[in-house]
Chains A and B, each alone.
Chain A
Amino acid sequence: MDFIVILQAGVASGTVLLFATLGEIFAERSGVLNLGVEGMLLIGAMSAYSVTIATGNLWLGVLTAILLAGLLSQVHAFITITLQADQVVSGLALTFLGVGISLVLGEGLSKAGTVSLMPSFSIPLLSQIPLLGPIFFKEQSVLVYVGYLLTPLAWFYINRTRPGMHLRAVGEYPAAADALGINVYRLRYLYVFMGGMLAGLGGATISLAISPGWFSEMTTGGQGWIAVGLVIFAQWNPLRAAVGSYAFGALRRLILDIQGPTMLLGLRNPFYYNPYWGFFLQMIPYAFTIIVLIIGSREAMRKRLGAPAALGTPYIRGERGL
């Protein structure tokens, strides 16, 4: 068991969580809680794989995933922004809808054939850096590099640009933003769409790069929900989201690999000799999500950091709101 290899693979599989978490950060920063991430991931994974098999073009697959998941997110946007329904229930409904549609349209997809993976490559100089080089820059999928680019961009956009300031204003105090001439409804639609597109990209990352194929609901295996939890841990900050996502990816990878070798740290590997203990290993990412939430919530309370103030509440123009 080589820890460098595990971390390298962890960064790759954490990229799925990264895209989904970044997308959810955009939506939540604008004040819309979208619990439909799992459904959008699955739609993305299904459509990316299906279109790639049909056309043989990986990039067309990725594009379809982004657009379809974005389209699905607009159902949530319409229900919560225009119809002002409860965001929690609507998000749940979106997950059901996304999972259901993916299962119907993905019928028979698991036996439909195989695709070539998204291209992987090393970055010349950067991959020579000791330790960090092989983990982050050696033979990673192109989508992983997209993740490296998106994370600082997202941070910069949210914290240092004018549209980013509008985004934060809409999520913190929509009535004031409205008074300044910002179109609250339009921006919320836009950022929910962006969240959907990023979740779709995450889905495409699963089925075309990380664990290629279509395994119905197990394709995502709850990663969409982990992403929703990571947003809280990340305190709505893209940089922290990246740290959390890669750490989670590494953890998932470690759990897969730890059952392989007969010896572990010079001792007999208990997970090799007792394969049933693997079920307890399977629980770890989910238990860890809960622990991460406890830490995130406590820290947020201590530092008085919180969710965007208007998160979860519909904006009704002319009504005395926040």
Chain B
Amino acid sequence: MSESSIPALKSKRRFPFRIHSEPRLSAPPAWYPAVVSLGAIVAALFLGGILIAYAGGDPIRSYLHIAKASFGNIGVISDTIVKATPILLTSLACSVAFRMKLWNIGAEGQFIMGAFGASAVVLTPMLAPETSRWLFIPAMMLAGIAAGAVWGWIPGVLKARFNVNEIISTLMLNYIAVAWVNFWIFAVWTEGGFQMSPKFSLNAWLPRLLDYAKAIPAFRGLTTHLGLLLGILAAFILWLVIYRSRWGYEIRLIGDNPRAAQYAGINITRNTILVMMLSGALAGLGGMSEVSGVVHRLQTSPIAAGYGFTGIIVAWLAKLHPIVIIVVSILFGALILAGREIQPSGVPKMIQGIILVCLIASDFLLRYRVQIVRTHAEG
């Protein structure tokens, strides 16, 4: 803050150094933001370590365990990628909405509804269990995307037409989505009274690497599924849309300067609804990929596992860039995969929170030049 350069009148004796900061006049070098983000993560891991130690854990062992349990061999790398896939799609969903400064916190609910939509194709059943994979999987994808888009459309319309705060409406819709799915798996599609649907027929499963183990023995036991490719494809398409299309330009302009966008004749109402739907559709595709690629049945606990919330952090860490999101989601997939085994069990969630806090704080270093200077001799 600039006023800190004005010497205080009251105190005579002062600490001989102080922090002086001033706004940056020119953009920092290209490597600088990456270094700052990295520094923020290191700081976050350090702070997290202190809290883990306080709660009775061993921070260094916890972190080494995370590294080993997520990248130690090809099998766990594959598991890491499986965990990263839903995060990749939800964070793409968040990034497109955040780009327009639409705070869609509802990727979680849209993800759950996507899983519900895809499952409805199998369980209603809209398609017979022996339908070919080539028809089954595209149908499930469409249903998942549509269900997610509807769950994004609701807050979009509420925001555009009634000026309802989208943060709160999307969050409320998360809770509603969970109750909705619970109703279906308890009351309609229950398997023997348990809170889950019956397992899908094999034709409704996304192909996994291990399906090809007969031809390529190295794939044995690897559960990485087609969802990864869907996610990467979605990331590249989203990059094209955001940075290379007219619509993407409109989205970015509304996000950066809504008033200028309005004067330029951009329809903000329409874009609000469309972007929320696109965001919901991406999250819905994530839900489809999870239910058809990993869980293979509709069940609340493994699907509503917080991927939508992790997506927010990943999107922010990647500075909303779709291609960077691919890399960051793999890191967070690792954190979540390995985190399941460390005690106390809240550690991954806490570390995610600390990382996000440190990242936001570190943005200050991008906007301001911060120096530690010697205070003036007088006074």
A100 — which chain B residues lie within 8 A by C-beta?
346-347, 349-354
B345 touches A107 (CB 8 A): yes
Q: B187 on the interface (CB 8 Å rule)?
A: yes
B165 touches A293 (CB 8 A): yes
Query: How would residues 267 to 306 of chain A score, 1 for a CB under 8 Å from any chain B CB and 0 otherwise?
Result: 0000000001001101100110110011001100100000
| Nearest CB of A to B195, in Å | 11
B165 touches A229 (CB 8 A): yes
Per DSSP, are chain A's interface residues mostly helix, strand or loop, or mixed? helix
Q: A140 on the interface (CB 8 Å rule)?
A: no
Q: A120 on the interface (CB 8 Å rule)?
A: no
A84 touches B364 (CB 8 A): yes
Q: A90-98, A129-137, A146-154, A244-252: which lies at the B interface?
A: A90-98
B171 — which chain A residues lie within 8 A by C-beta?
222, 225
A99 touches B353 (CB 8 A): yes
Q: B176 on the interface (CB 8 Å rule)?
A: yes
B353 — which chain A residues lie within 8 A by C-beta?
39, 93, 95-101
CA distance A280 to B345 in the complex (A): 31
Closest to B312 in A: A92
Q: A232 on the interface (CB 8 Å rule)?
A: yes
Closest to B357 in A: A93
Q: B323 on the interface (CB 8 Å rule)?
A: no
Given A289-B172, A293-B165, the answer on whether A103 and B350 have CB atoms closer than 8 Å is yes
Most chain B beta carbons < 10 A, residue from A229, A290, A298, A317: A290
Q: B75-83, B117-125, B177-185: which lies at the A interface?
A: B177-185
Q: A9-17, A63-71, A75-83, A194-202: which lies at the B interface?
A: A75-83
Q: Please tell me which one of the listed residues B176, B182, B313, B359 contacts residue A287 in the complex, with CB atoms under 8 A apart.
A: B176
CA distance A105 to B55 in the complex (A): 6
A85 — which chain B residues lie within 8 A by C-beta?
360-361, 363-364
Given A100-B350, A279-B179, the answer on whether A107 and B360 have CB atoms closer than 8 Å is no
Q: How many residues of A are counted as interface, with CB atoms below 8 angstroms from the partner's CB atoms?
A: 55
Per DSSP, are chain B's interface residues mostly helix, strand or loop, or mixed? helix
A103 touches B2 (CB 8 A): no
Q: A35 on the interface (CB 8 Å rule)?
A: yes
Closest to A39 in B: B353
CA distance A97 to B285 in the complex (A): 28
B375 — which chain A residues lie within 8 A by C-beta?
none
Q: B356 on the interface (CB 8 Å rule)?
A: yes
CA distance A86 to B353 in the complex (A): 16
Q: B316 on the interface (CB 8 Å rule)?
A: yes
Q: B163 on the interface (CB 8 Å rule)?
A: yes
B354 touches A90 (CB 8 A): no
Query: How would residues 90 to 134 of chain B score, 1 for a CB under 8 Å from any chain A CB and 0 otherwise?
Result: 000000000000010100000000000000000000000000000
Q: Please tell me which one of the listed residues A83, A86, A90, A104 contacts residue B347 in the complex, with CB atoms under 8 A apart.
A: A104
A103 — which chain B residues lie within 8 A by C-beta?
344-346, 349-350
Q: A181 on the interface (CB 8 Å rule)?
A: no
Closest to A101 in B: B350
A290 touches B350 (CB 8 A): no
Most chain B beta carbons < 10 A, residue from A85, A216, A232: A85
Closest to B172 in A: A286
B172 touches A102 (CB 8 A): no
B182 touches A88 (CB 8 A): no
Q: A192 on the interface (CB 8 Å rule)?
A: no
Given A88-B103, A93-B357, A276-B183, the answer on whether A107 and B344 have CB atoms closer than 8 Å is yes
B2 touches A318 (CB 8 A): yes
CA distance A256 to B280 in the complex (A): 31
Q: B309 on the interface (CB 8 Å rule)?
A: yes
A317 touches B350 (CB 8 A): no
Q: B202 on the interface (CB 8 Å rule)?
A: no
B360 touches A86 (CB 8 A): yes
CA distance A104 to B52 in the complex (A): 8
B158 touches A97 (CB 8 A): no
B176 — which chain A residues lie within 8 A by C-beta?
283, 286-287
Closest to A227 in B: B168
CA distance A229 to B167 in the complex (A): 9
B158 touches A96 (CB 8 A): no
A280 — which chain B residues lie within 8 A by C-beta?
179, 183
Closest to B171 in A: A225
Closest to B354 in A: A97
Given A287-B176, A297-B162, the answer on whether A90 and B360 have CB atoms closer than 8 Å is yes
Q: B343 on the interface (CB 8 Å rule)?
A: yes
Q: B3 on the interface (CB 8 Å rule)?
A: yes
Q: B203 on the interface (CB 8 Å rule)?
A: no
B172 touches A290 (CB 8 A): yes
Q: B164 on the interface (CB 8 Å rule)?
A: yes
| Nearest CB of B to A47, in Å | 13
Closest to B98 in A: A89
B172 touches A287 (CB 8 A): yes
Q: Please tell me which one of the listed residues B162, B343, B360 contacts residue A298 in the complex, with CB atoms under 8 A apart.
A: B162
B167 — which chain A residues lie within 8 A by C-beta?
35, 88, 228
Closest to A230 in B: B168
Give the top 3 A-B pairs by smallest Cβ distance, nearest first. Answer: A103-B346, A100-B350, A96-B353
Q: What are 21 residue pairs bridging A and B, where the CB atoms are less than 8 Å apart in the complex? A: A85-B360, A88-B167, A92-B312, A93-B360, A96-B309, A97-B353, A101-B51, A101-B350, A105-B51, A107-B55, A225-B168, A229-B165, A276-B186, A286-B172, A286-B173, A286-B175, A293-B165, A293-B169, A294-B158, A297-B163, A317-B3
Given contacts A92-B103, A107-B346, 11 further A-B contacts (CB under 8 A): A35-B167, A79-B357, A89-B316, A93-B360, A97-B354, A100-B350, A107-B343, A225-B172, A282-B175, A287-B176, A290-B172
Chain B contact residues, CB within 8 Å of chain A: 1-3, 51-52, 54-55, 103, 105, 158, 162-165, 167-169, 171-173, 175-176, 179-180, 182-183, 186-187, 309, 312-313, 316, 343-347, 349-354, 356-357, 359-361, 363-364, 367
